[in-house]
Amino acid sequence: MNDMRKIERDVHMTDLKIKARGVNVHYGETHAIKDVDVDIVDKTVTAFIGPSGCGKSTFLRCLNRMNDTISICRVTGQIEIDGRDINDRAVDPVQLRAQVGMVFQKPNPFPKSIYDNIAYGPRIHGLTKSKAELDEIVEKSLRRGAIWDEVKDRLNDSGTSLSGGQQQRLCIARAIATQPEVLLMDEPCSALDPIATAQVEELIDELRRDYSVVIVTHSMQQAARVSQKTAFFHLGHLVEFNNTGEIFTNPQDSRTESYITGRIG
Amino acid sequence: MTDTTNAAGAPRGQSAADLVAASLKRRHRKQVWLQAIGIGAISIAFTMLFILVMSLVSTGWQAFTQTHVTLDVYVDPAEVPVERLPRGGFADVAGASLGAMLPDVDMTDRATARSVRNILSNGAQFHLRDLVVADPGLIGRTVTIKVPVSDPFDQLNKGLIDRDTPNEFRRVKNNEIAWFDALQDQGAISKPFNWALFTNADSRFPELAGLKGALVGSFWALLVCFLIAFPLGIGAAIYLEEFAPKNKISDLIEVNINNLAAVPSVVFGLLALAVFIGWFGLPRSAPFVGGLALALMTMPTIIIATRAALKAVPPSIREAALGLGASRQQVVFQHVLPLAMPGILTGTIIGLAQALGETAPLLLIGMNAFITSAASSPFDSATALPTQIFIWADSPERGFVSRTSAAILVLLGFLVMMNGIAIYLRQKFERKW
Ligand SMILES: Nc1ncnc2c1ncn2[C@@H]1O[C@H](COP(=O)(O)OP(=O)(O)O)[C@@H](O)[C@H]1O
Ligand SMILES: [Mg+2]
């Protein structure tokens, strides 16, 4: 734990954004998530930590119904965003995903221009009426993604021509461009070098002002640095969920303690 | 290393490094063997290819030139009266002027006159006729024409008829050789590039026979094949790969498509004969029907290639688009399909190249008919390149031997070109994600 400064930060906002109750996920016979309850607060960063294969990604993907795309995956239980059940038949996953953006483990820019990468979401959702408006969104998103200065002169270059860290910030900017309310990030720094990681972490802290951010990470230091709330998963169970400072300084469960002291995982 | 409780379980006194060193020699030997076998296989394949191409070139190259004779023809108004055009004694006037160039011939002798006229290709009189019909003012004047000689003299000029063969066994008799040599001495004989090979349709006379009809027929057939197989194949592949539920039925369909790709092409020809010609009453020998049969054959190839290309698009791209809220249809048409297009086009071109060389289904639907004009629509009778080769290979005239090889070379040229385009596309659009 190199940097414990942010752990002490208090969580002021307590508006509930996402409320999950009794969530179970099966991949065929595999029971990947077991009866998980989580409350995710608005305008905070919530970190999911836990050993590899414990179900962090699976749970994260429940929140924007990305698991729908896996045919063998079955999700039960209740997940509400702003009080609305996202698994309701009336909810279109397309609409949900516009509201709940996602950033993936491996940077995955489209093999299109930087501009088109950002403009894609606003275009398909019809968020803009004119080219000027779209230009504005692109610039705003790239600025929020902390990558504007690096790409402003090469918006027509391919997104895949950027470095790994730049690609990931481009993907974050792309997710922001659809103006989501929740941003899900699945190990966004695992493919990045330390400098790019620091840039992305800074960005995440910045994003907290406007979004509710849920980040999966295998690095406890990272969870400590960027999050206010931390959930510890183990073998599909949510073992402990508390303010980040509490989890790291005063874990209640022995498994949490073993994990953060490096004995499991 | 004297540690006897070696973790790798090596015998006493031998370290792992020693064992590795001992095995190296054996491994190297195996590698050398493998390489040698590989190089041997490639050499054999290339030798075969070389022999094939060389044998084609050695017989075919002669067909790319054609012996011509240059004549000054006096268009005698007595033989070609203006009021009878387009009919007239064009063969006679051409023969007369040829006879005038030869020593000691008595053109009043009808047999001799006929022999002299036979030096010229049957097409010569029509060439002259077309000139005169286009400009009747030529009647009564002398025109210089350059016309093909008939096949035996072409063979003689190309050295394919042996002058040492006894006269009675030789196609071209001693006196005819003397005539030809006389013409040659006067500088009237030339051997230019045989444009007729590409600008003429089929003919019973080898010196007039060309591939235009076959090229046009193949073009129509491939066009029909492409217009049908490409959209249907891609549509089927997209549905199967991206939308169809994965269950027993889709498995069954998949197996059947793969089987379809292995069905002998003659079966598709029989099907086309029975269904398109038998039931629907479409015309025989038409490139449209040929194209339909070829489309049936090409579709599985395109479906398989398209599915492979769709599969090769990394899932991360789909996830990225889905995560932004793109619908499945948007993911497919805005991201996956454009990225898969080079692979799809490559597969399509290779499928079309196969279709271009396909003979059996076209024989069954009658595209091996003797047709002396190029088709002007896909519903006219026509031949195709491979069936034209089939027809020529079956023709008894000597001139068709080299023309058959030449036609095969032309077909191979198209195949190489199409595969070249496929390779070019593949390399140009090869992506690294
Ligand atoms: N697409 C899938 N198909 C089948 N099983 C899966 C799939 N994705 C994840 N799993 C299983 O679900 C469990 C949780 O995986 P995951 O959520 O990826 O773990 P984490 O992100 O915490 O490393 C693992 O046991 C994994 O094998
Ligand atoms: Mg994961």
CB contact under 8 A, A124 and B326: yes
Nearest to B414 by CA among B335, B357, B339, B343: B357
- Enumerate the residues of chain B whose CB falls inside 8 A of the CB of residue A66: 319, 322-323
Q: Are B292 and B276 in contact (CB under 8 A)?
A: yes
The conformation of residue B120, written as its DSSP 8-state character, comes to: B
- H-run or E-run covering B51: helix B16-60
Residue B160 has pLDDT above 80, yes or no: yes
- When scoring B243, B322, B324 by the number of chain A Cβ atoms within 10 A, the one with the most, hence best to mutate, is B324
Q: Name the A residues in 98-117 with CB < 8 Å from any B CB.
A: 98, 101-102, 104, 106, 108-111
Q: What pLDDT is attached to residue B2? A: 46
Give residues with Cβ within 8 angstroms of A65, minimum separation 6.
A75, A86, A87, A93, A96, A97
Which one has a higher pLDDT value, A146 or B5?
Answer: A146
Name the closest residue on chain A to residue B336, using Cα atoms. Answer: A110
Four-CA torsion B268, B269, B274, B279, nearest 10 degrees = 90
A218 Cα to the center of ligand 1, angstroms:
14
User: Which residue reads 């960005």 in tokens?
Assistant: A203
Which one has a higher pLDDT value, B246 or B117?
Answer: B117
The question of ipTM being above 0.90 is answered as no
Q: What is the mean pLDDT of residues B66-83?
A: 90
Residue range A2-260 forms a domain whose CATH class is alpha beta
Q: Are B328 and B242 in contact (CB under 8 A)?
A: yes
- The predicted-structure confidence for A91-136, as pLDDT tens digits, reads as follows 899 999 999 999 999 999 999 999 999 999 999 999 888 999 999 9
d(CA B143, CA B128): 9
Q: Closest ligand 1 atom, CA of A54?
A: 22
d(CA B272, CA B257): 18
Q: Binning pLDDT at 50, 70 and 90, where does residue B185 land?
A: very high
Four-CA torsion B268, B271, B276, B279, nearest 10 degrees = 180
d(CA B146, CA B131): 12
Give residues with Cβ within 8 angstroms of B301, minimum separation 6.
B233, B261, B347, B350, B351, B354
- How far is C-alpha B30 from the geometric centre of its chain's CA atoms? 43
CB contact under 8 A, B325 and A121: yes
Local confidence pLDDT in tens for the 265 residues of chain A = 444 444 444 444 468 899 999 999 999 999 999 999 999 999 999 999 999 999 999 999 999 999 988 889 999 999 999 989 998 888 899 999 999 999 999 999 999 999 999 999 999 999 888 999 999 999 999 998 889 999 999 999 999 999 988 999 999 999 999 999 999 999 999 888 888 889 889 989 988 888 899 999 988 889 999 999 999 999 999 999 999 999 999 999 999 999 988 876 5
- When scoring A66, A69, A73 by the number of chain B Cβ atoms within 10 A, the one with the most, hence best to mutate, is A69
d(CA B84, CA B279): 48
The conformation of residue B278, written as its DSSP 8-state character, comes to: I
d(CA B53, CA A44): 73
Q: Closest ligand 1 atom, CA of A61?
A: 17
Contact B169/A at CB under 8 A: no
Nearest CA to ligand 1 atom 21: A57
Question: Angle, nearest 10°, between helix axes B337-357 and B385-393?
Answer: 20
Nearest CA to ligand 1 atom 7: A27
Q: Closest ligand 1 atom, CA of A59?
A: 17
The conformation of residue B349, written as its DSSP 8-state character, comes to: H
d(CA B211, CA B262): 30
Q: Binning pLDDT at 50, 70 and 90, where does residue B431 land?
A: low
Residue B136 has pLDDT above 70, yes or no: yes
Q: Are B377 and B291 in contact (CB under 8 A)?
A: no
Q: Are B296 and B272 in contact (CB under 8 A)?
A: yes
B47 Cα to the center of ligand 1, angstroms:
53
CB contact under 8 A, A110 and B335: yes
- The predicted-structure confidence for B82-122, as pLDDT tens digits, reads as follows 888 888 889 889 998 998 888 888 888 888 889 999 999 99
* Among candidates A71, A108, A121 on the partner chain, residue whose Cβ is nearest the Cβ of B316: A108
Sheet arrangement for strand A182-186: A100-103, A182-186, A212-216, A45-49, A229-234, A237-243
Nearest CA to ligand 1 atom 24: A53
CB contact under 8 A, A97 and B322: yes
* Among candidates B322, B330, B433 on the partner chain, residue whose Cβ is nearest the Cβ of A160: B433
- The predicted-structure confidence for B257-314, as pLDDT tens digits, reads as follows 989 888 999 999 999 999 999 999 999 999 999 999 999 999 999 999 999 999 999 9
Report which residue type is found at B13: G
- In this structure, of A96-105, B12-21, B56-65, B389-398, the range with the lowest mean pLDDT score is B12-21
Nearest CA to ligand 1 atom 12: A32
Residues comprising chain B, all counted: 433
Highest mean pLDDT, choosing among A90-94, B3-7, B43-47, B427-431: B43-47
* Among candidates B325, B335, B339 on the partner chain, residue whose Cβ is nearest the Cβ of A125: B325
Q: Binning pLDDT at 50, 70 and 90, where does residue B240 land?
A: very high
CB contact under 8 A, B322 and A66: yes
Q: What is the mean pLDDT of residues B203-220?
A: 94
CB contact under 8 A, A71 and B246: yes
Distance in Å, alpha carbon of A102 to nearest chain B alpha carbon: 6
A187 Cα to the center of ligand 2, angstroms:
7
- Enumerate the residues of chain B whose CB falls inside 8 A of the CB of residue A109: 320
> Which ranges constitute the DSSP H helices of chain A?
56-62, 93-99, 114-124, 131-144, 148-151, 164-177, 194-207, 220-226, 244-249, 254-260
d(CA B98, CA B95): 5
Could you tell me the residue ranges of all domains in chain A?
2-260
User: Encoding tokens for residue B228?
Assistant: 């049908």
Backbone dihedral angles phi then psi of residue A252, each to the nearest 5 degrees: -90, -30
pLDDT above 70 as % of chain B: 96
CB contact under 8 A, B322 and A104: no
Distance in Å, alpha carbon of B329 to nearest chain A alpha carbon: 11
CATH 1.10.3720.10 domain position(s) in chain B: 212-429
Ligand nearest to the CA of A187: 2
Backbone dihedral angles phi then psi of residue B282, each to the nearest 5 degrees: -70, 155
- Cβ burial B127-146 (10 Å sphere, 16+ → b, else e): bbbeebeeeeebbeeebebe
Q: What is the mean pLDDT of residues B427-431?
A: 76
User: Which residue reads 């183990």 in tokens?
Assistant: A234
> Which ranges constitute the DSSP H helices of B136-284?
151-157, 174-185, 196-199, 212-238, 248-262, 265-272
User: Encoding tokens for residue A192?
Assistant: 């990045």
3-class secondary structure per residue, B367-389: CCCCCCCCCCCCCCCCCCHHHHH
Q: Binning pLDDT at 50, 70 and 90, where does residue B18 land?
A: confident
CB contact under 8 A, A102 and B325: no
CB contact under 8 A, B325 and A71: no
B150 Cα to the center of ligand 2, angstroms:
81
Q: How many CA atoms lie within 13 A of B409 on its CB side?
A: 20
A179 Cα to the center of ligand 1, angstroms:
29
Q: Closest ligand 1 atom, CA of A25?
A: 12
Q: What pLDDT is attached to residue A265? A: 56
User: Encoding tokens for residue A67?
Assistant: 């698991």
The conformation of residue B121, written as its DSSP 8-state character, comes to: -
Ligand 1: list residues with CB < 6 Å: A 27, 30, 32, 50, 52-58, 70
Residue range B212-429 forms a domain whose CATH class is mainly alpha
Q: CA B1 → CA B18, B20, B21, B228, distances in Å?
A: 10, 14, 15, 72
